[in-house]
Amino acid sequence: MLPSLPTEIWLSILQHLSPQDLYLNTLNVNKRLRSCSDDILSNESLRNFTVSMSFGLGASTRARWYDIRGSVTMSFTSVSKRNPQYALFEKISVLPDTCHRRVQDTWNRICVAGVGSDVLWRVQLHRNASDESATTGSDVRAVKLPSLVVSEDHGVWCDWRELMGVYFKHGKVRETSSV
């Protein structure tokens, strides 16, 4: 049985854990630690995640080695007020800069058509400069996010618990073409 400490002290203690340790080791202990872990993960760790999609910019539907690839990377914006399990990622950056217009047009077409649950998303956790205990670094992992939904503003809504679950629980997945 855990000692009966106030929630503020648990929050202070848990803030010293890496996001991976926090997610994997404290969520299933009891309701109080789960609540504290959720609070830290949704308010602090989630803002360090980015979600991106890479796609070919070639004219054909078949990818060729010489096709230019574009990527759209979205950073965390906010947690939904209506459904706090969903996070909005919409601060968009586009690569390569030389093909900004083509990448943006392709992303807009993908948003209108919708994305399936079998699409591989590249998820990255950026390490804070002040966080010495972070063991995850900034590994990019290709994962499937079945509950991810494209928003009206061309960002994405993502179940943040699912995002952290597939990022922390699964190892690196071989990068393949997503669209």
Cα–Cα distances (Å) from 174 to 107, 120, 125, 142, 178, in that order, read 23, 10, 17, 7, 11
pLDDT tens digit sequence for 1-11: 456 888 899 88
**pLDDT band at 135; cut points 50, 70, 90:** very low
Give 150's contacts (C-beta < 8 A, 6+ positions apart).
Answer: 110, 111, 114, 115, 156, 157
CA angle 39, 44, 51 (to 5 degrees): 110
Domains of the chain, by residue range, sit at: 49-169
- For 74-99, b where at least 16 C-beta lie within 10 A, e where not — what string? bbbeebeeeeeebbbbbebebeeeeb
Please state, rounded to an integer, the average pLDDT across all residues of the chain: 83
Residue 175: the pLDDT is 43
Q: pTM of the prediction?
A: 0.78
Residue 29: the pLDDT is 82
